[in-house]
Structure 1
Amino acid sequence: MQAELARPTIGPYTAAKGALRNLTRAMTAEWAGEGLQVNGIAPGYIHTEMTQKLVDDAEFNSWILGRTPARRWGTVADLVGPAVWLSSSASDYVNGQVIFVDGGLTAVV
């Protein structure tokens, strides 16, 4: 999500995510003519071992639940459908896109 949004204190992380989003576009511009598809998946806040401390932080967890239209953290399983779709012929004309799997967080202000 930080490819689309920014939060205080994580400027370098946000810059890196934005760079990956634009790299997806640049690779598409260079390689689509060769029949290659280049897309990305941008996960929202996904509950994993790595994010457990954020889930356990009552203030941050409340912010996530209040800010995310789905009113929950994502799971690793939530990423499977988009990955399978992008890997299938159903997405043959999709190129240069970053699919946000974030419970709607980047869709709202």
Structure 2
Amino acid sequence: MRPATRRKLTPPLVVFAVLRAVVIGGTVALAFGLDVSHNYWMPIAAMVVMKPNLEQATLAAARRLAGALIGALRSGVSVPGRRPGERPGWMPCAPGRVVPRPGWP
């Protein structure tokens, strides 16, 4: 087994450690201060989302944002045009493909 070695404290490493501490502390303060249900999940989610280095965290955040925007645009295209209480006669299943909903003529 290799002995544990200390990493040299570089300015980017210190900034990331401080940023991570602020984010975890902020989520703990929000979760327990607002008294939301299942409040222990908020700090756990923040720890999972924070990647080991800032470049990975930035890339993951950009991918999540892009996925959220694509999902919002896709739902915005398929939902408008319906009247309240009306079910669509089609169901999007893949980009560019539409299949009839079962039970509709």
The two structures have a TM-score, normalised by structure 2, of: 0.30
The structure with the largest alpha-carbon Rg is 2
Which structure's relative contact order is higher, taking Cα pairs within 8 Å and 6+ residues apart? 1
